[in-house]
Amino acid sequence: MELENKKYLDIQPISKGKRILLYLGDFFINFIVAFVFFGVAITPLGKVMTNYETKSQLFEKYEKERIDILYDNELIFYSDEVYKYDQNIYMKFTYDCFLSYYVLTSPVEFKISNDRFGQNESNEVIKHYYSSIRNNDDKYYDLFSKYNDKVGYFILEQETFKLKDEYRIQLIEYFNPMGEMSEVGLNLYDDLASKVFFALFGEILTEISNENVDLWSHKRQYSYNEYTKMAEDIRSYHLTLLTICAFISYLLSSLLVYVIYPLVVKSKRTPTMSIFRIDRINIYDFNKPKKVSLFILFIYAFTFNFPFIMFLPMTLVSFAYLFQFSALVSFSLVSLLFNIFSLIVLLFDSFSRTISDKLSKTVLISEADLLEIYKAKGYME
């Protein structure tokens, strides 16, 4: 029976709504099974086989050594050793030290909240880097002027940048343990941080990352960039390991949902088809699909059912870090577009068939309808 030459089959295919439900049902079961495989079996096994714990310890060591080089060169500071390697905390405290250099320029009537704050020359880490470490005052003045010109918070007097009095008065209460900053002061504090200090500190890190510049400390075995490179090698290993584990998990899940389960059950149904008592039959002879058709469905499922694969590692890494898995993200996006296209094909097909149904030359019908067909053909009474 040529499907293309007939407007209707001798059967009643399931509705488009139910076909979409079956499509999505198996899709989500596939993802859930892959998620369990990934977290319970594949990734733990992969970590054991690749000595993951040792590499993780080395990664942490290299990251700390790299940060220590910044401490050794007095480019960052900490107030509590417990949070010495917490970037958000040590960078905020370093900014506070930088700000105190410009705000606490004269004796104050209150006890300063931290002994580190004040006119200590190293608190001005931007100038300290360019003048004391790089011996490049010209670049310091050029960069500081570049970012200050956008906001106008500082003035240059006798080759020294000074915070304008109207801004210094707004910020001085920040360093008073008993004081309270105004809303204007709070906004100014945040604006100075983002538009001046962190912008300039970013320039420093960018320059250090240059292989011809780098940063050293006599207390450390390697340079800043060498520690960065060693840490990045381990990070790449971590990304590769989880990417491979994700693909293996999806392969096993697709094999289980779309091949093993239908072959084990006599009806050759997928899990969702079993729930709704739906059968897949060949469009030419109305028989259950042969193994070759199931293999085609498996290939389709494994190749194109990847929209959620990038989310498999989400219990091990932060959400933002998921986008570091470039291979998983690429497969997810391509698969999402293909699945949307397949659903569009389903909506416009007379027999509610997806692309995989067309490739395997099958159609889905209810169990009751299939029994009627078999009765009509004399297969059963």
Model pLDDT for residues 239-276, shown as the tens digit of each residue: 999 999 999 999 899 889 888 888 888 778 889 888 88
* Mean pLDDT value of segment 229-238: 96
Q: 339 and 268 in one domain? A: yes
**What is the number of domains present in the chain?**
2
Is residue 182 within a helix (H) or strand (E), and if so which, with residue range?
A: none
- Tell whether 65 is covered by a domain: no
Q: 171 and 266 in one domain? A: no
What confidence category does residue 330 fall into, taking pLDDT thresholds of 50, 70 and 90? very high
C-beta of residue 323 within 8 angstroms of C-beta of residue 329: yes
Q: Which range of residues forms the domain containing residue 296?
A: 3-55+231-376
Between CA 59 and CA 68, with CA 63 as vertex, the angle to 5 degrees is 145
- Tell whether 381 is covered by a domain: no
C-beta of residue 137 within 8 angstroms of C-beta of residue 211: no
CA–CA gap between residue 134 and residue 140 (Å, rounded): 10
- Tell whether 221 is covered by a domain: no
Which range, 153-162, 292-301, 355-364, is most confident?
A: 153-162
Query: What is the model's pTM?
Result: 0.78
pLDDT higher at 231 or 282: 231
CA–CA gap between residue 337 and residue 324 (Å, rounded): 20
Q: 329 and 304 in one domain? A: yes
Q: 172 and 79 in one domain? A: yes
What confidence category does residue 353 fall into, taking pLDDT thresholds of 50, 70 and 90? confident
Of 150, 180, 214, the residue that ends a domain is 214
Residue 304 to residues 72, 119, 125, 137, Cα–Cα distance (Å): 51, 62, 52, 57
pLDDT higher than 50, residue 115 = yes
- Tell whether 160 is covered by a domain: yes
Q: 149 and 89 in one domain? A: yes
Q: 76-80, 162-166, 344-348, 362-366: which range is least confident on average?
A: 362-366
- Tell whether 364 is covered by a domain: yes
* Listed residue (53, 78, 50, 27) closest to 305, CA to CA: 27
Q: 158 and 240 in one domain? A: no
- Tell whether 334 is covered by a domain: yes
* Listed residue (15, 197, 231, 168) closest to 91, CA to CA: 197
